[in-house]
Amino acid sequence: MAQTTSSPPTSVANAAEMLVDQEAIFRLIRAERFARDSGDWDAVAGAYVEDSYVRTTWFEGTGEDFAKESRAMAENGRHSKHPIWPIYAKVNGAKALAESYSQIQNRSVIDGVSVDMVQYCRFFSRLLRTTSGWRLASFEAIYQWDTISPTNPADVVPIDWSETNGLRESYRIWAWAMQKRGYVVSLDLLGDDRPDLVRDFYREADEWLAAPEQSTTSTARSARRSGPPL
């Protein structure tokens, strides 16, 4: 006859703890994107540890500076939405990795034509467990493909396609649009059209997750990866 016990087996307790951590991480990831789309810049900054690392098509720096620059971008008239669907979270003690499917949706007027642009991507983060809960130590995108269409089907997409020569397939339209706004966009960002970069990126992230835990500051700093500045 099986004996009863007052506490669940270790494997069950570990699984329950993993689910709690996963849900907390997913809530943080969704909340950070919603805060950015809603203009809650303090909440955006608060989602990151102090020495965090953020890299997008138009920005490279800390989470705090990302919030400031995102606010400036919004005040200059560029507003995008970022629906996000977390896929997984891997947890090892006070560290975690998380990846999500996402889109960046933007409506703009380019050369007098109203257009909708969508960038399909995956967002990837390293996270740290802090006294205030899970926080983002890094935030980067892995670009997949992008599209553009006029909001009026009778209009013609206002692109001189020769201007996109040399741009990466995974974020070609997005880079073109950002360049028209005066931003410098790196050609060495993560994208499915550069599987070599993505492979090395995942390997470095897994090594970081498996490494012995260090202090919060040094662990957050190690989330930075080498790469050319924007």
pLDDT at 153: 95
Q: Please give the domain boundaries of the chain with CATH numbers for all domains.
A: 10-221 (3.10.450.50)
- Write the pLDDT tens digit of every residue in 200-222: 999 999 999 999 976 444 444 45
pTM: 0.87
pLDDT at 222: 55
- Write the pLDDT tens digit of every residue in 74-131: 998 888 999 999 999 999 999 999 999 999 999 999 999 999 999 999 999 999 999 9
What is the distance between the alpha carbons of residues 80 and 39, in angstroms, rounded to a whole number?
A: 11
What is the distance between the alpha carbons of residues 217 and 225, in angstroms, rounded to a whole number?
A: 15
Task: Tell me the sheet residues that pair with 109.
Answer: 114
What is the torsion angle, in degrees rounded to the nearest 10, for the CA atoms of residue 76, residue 173, residue 63 and residue 80? 50
pLDDT at 204: 98
Please give the residue that has the higher pLDDT: either 11 or 178. 178
What is the distance between the alpha carbons of residues 29 and 44, in angstroms, rounded to a whole number?
A: 10
Tokens of 74: 């919004």
Is the per-residue pLDDT at 17 higher than 50?
A: yes
| Nearest residue to 78 (alpha-carbon basis) of 190, 168, 174, 191 | 174
Give the count of alpha carbons within 13 A of 27, CB side only: 8
CB 54 within 8 A of CB 70: no
